[in-house]
Amino acid sequence: MADAAQSGGGGTRAAGPRTAPRHGGAPFARLFGATTGPVGLISALVVLILVFSVLNPRFASVENLQNVLFQVSVPLILVVGATLVIQMGSIDLSVEGIMGAAGMAWILLSPNTRLAIDLGVWAWAVGLGVGLGLGLLTGLIYAKLKVPSFVVSLGTWYVGLGIAILLYGNSSLPSLTSDALERWPTALTLGLPNSFWLAVAVLAAGVLISNHTRFGRGLMAIGNNEPIARGSGMPVDLYKVAAFAIAGLLCGLAGILATMQLGSGSTDIGFGQLFIVIPAAVIGGTALSGGEGGMMRSTLGVFLLIILNNGLVLAGVDPDYQSGVFGLLLLVAIIAVAWPGRDRLKVAK
Amino acid sequence: MKFPIPNLARPSRRAFGAAAVAAALVAGIGAPRAEAQQVEHPEGFNPDEWVVVASVINTTNPYMISNIEGAEAMSEALGIPLEIVNSNNSSQTSISSIYAILASGKKPIMFVNTVASSDAPTIVDAVRQAGGYVTIWWNKPDEYKPQDVGDNFVAFQKHPGVDSGRCGAQALGEALGGEGNVIMLPGVQDSTTSKTRVAGFRAEMSESYPGITILEERPSNWDPQLGARNAKDLIVKYGDQIDGVWSADDGMQIGAMQSFENAGMLEDVKFASDGLYPKTLEDIISGRGDNAIVGETFHRGYMASAIGLYTAYLAASGQIVPSELEDDKRESFFKLSCVTPENYEQYLQYDEEGAPAEFVERLIESGPWDTEPVPLVGGGVEELPQG
């Protein structure tokens, strides 16, 4: 994949830098990292929301809005890290393993049914530290040993899962005993769930880093053409390691949040997240080959996937048909998303 | 894939066992397994030619951990060493690991908790070629019968899923006074275990509680988080119309209860499920959510593996000839008990320290088909009632 293209420097991509993302347009477009803005994606979302609201008026209720925002928070945190990594043309598959390890480390050091221990803020430090450490490991092996990120992060996925399994041991399911911690993710601040506010804070930081720092622009440049980025004196390896470290840290945070949301620890707390996060980034227009896309667009991708699922349940689609209908609607949405940029995105393979 | 049937783990026993072995090794004493041996082998049976094998779907699910504990207790009682196969949720891993053990030259006395129904024929063939004896639990193709395969496939055994669903329906039906609306959270939709439980639940509801309406069924893949998410979506959809929630296993129920608690509805809704997880037991004892949990079922992983291995051992040692057994001893259903907040206390004894060894002792005394609390109750292919 992209890694190979980079290290080999071959193929069409090395022939010259592609058009770099243009940031010169209106503020709206600038936020979304494209001149036109994600018109297709937003229209697809609007249509879905309208259709689901007609099918079941409760879909458009405040209660369901809070529900959707609650469900969106974990993948939203993950997609910020994933977007940074994908923008530079790499991929991070370790999401679910890191979530398991961090979530399990955190709950075992927080008030839980298994151990009479409460390290408070240190539990957070350890949980996030596990995520950061695994992210650093992925980044270092990828950047320094030149192993494709696809393979490295597959390895760290299992290392993370292994850590989670060891921590889980053979004992019973650890459940939170602190009501305050258990209720925090759903408690409302200014009408919206706390877990969503946490995701918004992460997203804001992500947008800031991605659009307004040398590091963020550097990642995009690496994705566009690594030899040129390197030639211009950019600390490419450092940026690569940092991107994976941030992604790992955010996986750790997402693992902790998911554990809080469930109220219990589980080695596979991250189950299924990878297949929300990567499609969400791609639907949002973040090309897997790197050099394109943005945080806000990935965010819309996450909303699209979560709303699609939520809407199908509320519309009462028979479970036997739900997977098929989900896939079909996703295809239609993707076509709508890609339509406005079809000339620019013309791909022969 | 995830596996449905959870249960209480007694990990401390394993940890203690490991520590004790380590201590014995350090002291240079060694700990010959034969000391704990309870079974006198019949003449002509040489235990050195055999190995006890337990194949489990993974080693993190509490039910699987309990399977392993039963196998450990049985291996000790037989004085035959134990090999554990961790399938890591993959049929391929399961089958290749079993081949590796068979290649060691010893004949297997085997218990297999199959990852997928379709694994059964491949595993049975390999065991037969190695001259071993195998009992399969939970999953096999309906038309693949031990009676047709031969003595090496000693038996297929399970707890009936229909009974599990009926237990849940009775508990909810009674708790709601025969009136109200319930939602259902099945497991992986096409799994036999989930299908049979769902069919049992629906049948019992329509036969005995016609005043109860099933609002909706949302498969939640045995996943606590998906259970929580689906429950939340259904709360939005139906609001306070929901009076009861049935889940095909406790993992999903844990997730669902969290969603109802978050919505401030836990005290207005009743729950029933399968497996009696430690967390569930705690919630029953503490009366969480105004005694929200009204029904559960009881069965334990260590009982399944011990019964499976002992049946295989009896065949291996010539004490039973499988082809001469009645049909219900080749395709067997073992009892599943309905647990309620009124009677849960009588099941606590089976989770005490040393319970697997105690069960194995009684199993060897009474035989594989007559040991409480899980005697044989029937056999054949489980038929789905129409609900």
What structural domains and CATH numbers belong to chain A? 40-340 (1.10.3470.10)
Which of A65, A172, A305 to mutate against chain B (most B CBs within 10 Å)?
A172
Q: Is B93 exposed, middle or buried (0-12, 13-18, 19+ CB in 10 A)?
A: middle
- Is the per-residue pLDDT at B227 higher than 80? yes
Q: Which residues of B touch A258 (CB under 8 A)?
A: 225
How many Å apart are CA B179 and CA B211, to the nearest integer? 5
Q: Which helix (H) or strand (E) holds B105?
A: none
Q: Which residues of B touch A315 (CB under 8 A)?
A: none
The pLDDT-based confidence of A37 (bands split at 50, 70, 90) is: low
Q: Whose CA is closest to B325, among B365, B367, B364?
A: B367
| Matching residue, tokens 């899923």 | B161
- Is the per-residue pLDDT at B370 higher than 60? yes
Tokens of A298: 């990935």
Alpha carbon distance, N-terminus to C-terminus of chain B: 27
**Topology match between the domains B44-159+300-337+346-374 and B161-298:** yes
Q: Is A53 on the interface with B (CB under 8 A)?
A: no
Q: Is B189 on the interface with A (CB under 8 A)?
A: yes
In chain A, whose CA is at the least distance from the CA of B65?
A170
Per the model's pLDDT, the better-predicted residue between A172 and B311 turns out to be B311
What pLDDT shows up at residue B123? 93
B106-115 confidence digits (pLDDT tens): 999 999 999 8
Per the model's pLDDT, the better-predicted residue between A69 and B189 turns out to be A69
In chain A, whose CA is at the least distance from the CA of B217?
A319
Beta strand A188-189 with A192-193 is: antiparallel
Q: Is A138 exposed, middle or buried (0-12, 13-18, 19+ CB in 10 A)?
A: buried
What pLDDT shows up at residue A18? 43
Q: Which residues of A touch B236 (CB under 8 A)?
A: 58, 61, 63-64, 67, 314
Does the domain at B44-159+300-337+346-374 match CATH 3.40.50.2300? Answer given as yes
Q: How far is B210 from chain A (nearest CA, A)?
A: 22
In chain A, whose CA is at the least distance from the CA of B64?
A170
**DSSP code string of B13-80:** HHHHHHHHHHHHHHTT----GGGG--PPPPTT--GGGEEEEEEES-SSSHHHHHHHHHHHHHHHHHT-
Contact A258 B233 (CB under 8 A): no
Q: What does pTM read for this prediction?
A: 0.82
What pLDDT shows up at residue A35? 42
**pLDDT, mean of residues A182-196:** 93
B242-251 confidence digits (pLDDT tens): 999 999 999 8
B316-339 confidence digits (pLDDT tens): 999 999 999 999 999 999 999 999
The pLDDT-based confidence of A218 (bands split at 50, 70, 90) is: very high
Contact A261 B65 (CB under 8 A): no
Q: Is B240 on the interface with A (CB under 8 A)?
A: no
Contact A170 B278 (CB under 8 A): no
What pLDDT shows up at residue B269? 98
The pLDDT-based confidence of B310 (bands split at 50, 70, 90) is: very high
Beta strand B270-272 with B293-298 is: parallel
The CA angle B33-B35-B37, to the nearest 5 degrees, is 80
What pLDDT shows up at residue A39? 79
The CA angle B288-B178-B261, to the nearest 5 degrees, is 25
What pLDDT shows up at residue B268? 96
Contact B236 A173 (CB under 8 A): no
Q: Whose CA is closest to A310, among A64, A3, A57, A38?
A: A64
**pLDDT, mean of residues A184-191:** 92
Q: Which residues of B touch A266 (CB under 8 A)?
A: 224-225
The CA angle B336-B159-B2, to the nearest 5 degrees, is 115
What pLDDT shows up at residue B387? 60
On whether ipTM exceeds 0.90, the answer is no
What pLDDT shows up at residue A26? 54
In chain B, whose CA is at the least distance from the CA of A172?
B9
What pLDDT shows up at residue A340? 67
- Is the per-residue pLDDT at A348 higher than 90? no
Per the model's pLDDT, the better-predicted residue between A175 and B81 turns out to be B81
Q: Is A268 on the interface with B (CB under 8 A)?
A: yes
Q: Is B65 on the interface with A (CB under 8 A)?
A: yes
**What are the structural domain ranges in chain B?**
44-159+300-337+346-374, 161-298
* Inter-chain contacts counted by CB atoms under 8 A, chains A and B: 96
Q: Which of residues 359-378 of B touch A (CB under 8 A)?
A: none
What pLDDT shows up at residue A261? 92
Q: Are B262 and A183 in contact (CB under 8 A)?
A: yes
How many Å apart are CA A229 and CA A330, to the nearest integer? 36
- Give the least confident one: A52-61, A155-164, B143-152, B274-283: B274-283
What pLDDT shows up at residue A6? 38
**pLDDT, mean of residues B212-236:** 93
Which of B60, B66, B241, B252 to mutate against chain A (most A CBs within 10 Å)?
B60
B337-356 confidence digits (pLDDT tens): 999 999 999 999 998 889 99
In chain B, whose CA is at the least distance from the CA of A168?
B60
Contact B278 A266 (CB under 8 A): no
Q: Whose CA is closest to B141, among B118, B160, B175?
A: B118
Sheet holding B331-334, edge to edge: B82-86, B50-56, B107-113, B133-137, B153-158, B331-334, B376-379
Q: Which of residues 197-226 of B touch A (CB under 8 A)?
A: 216-219, 223-226
Q: Which residues of A touch B261 (CB under 8 A)?
A: 182, 263
What is the CATH architecture of B161-298?
3-Layer(aba) Sandwich (3.40)
Q: Is B275 on the interface with A (CB under 8 A)?
A: no
The pLDDT-based confidence of A322 (bands split at 50, 70, 90) is: confident
The pair phi, psi for residue A199, each rounded to 5°, is -65, -40
What pLDDT shows up at residue A3? 41
Q: Are B308 and B53 in contact (CB under 8 A)?
A: no
Q: Nearest Cβ partner of A71 from B216, B219, B229?
A: B229
Q: How far is A141 from chain B (nearest CA, A)?
A: 26
Contact A319 B218 (CB under 8 A): yes
Q: Which of residues 165-184 of A touch B (CB under 8 A)?
A: 165, 168-173, 175, 182-183
Per the model's pLDDT, the better-predicted residue between A316 and B377 turns out to be B377
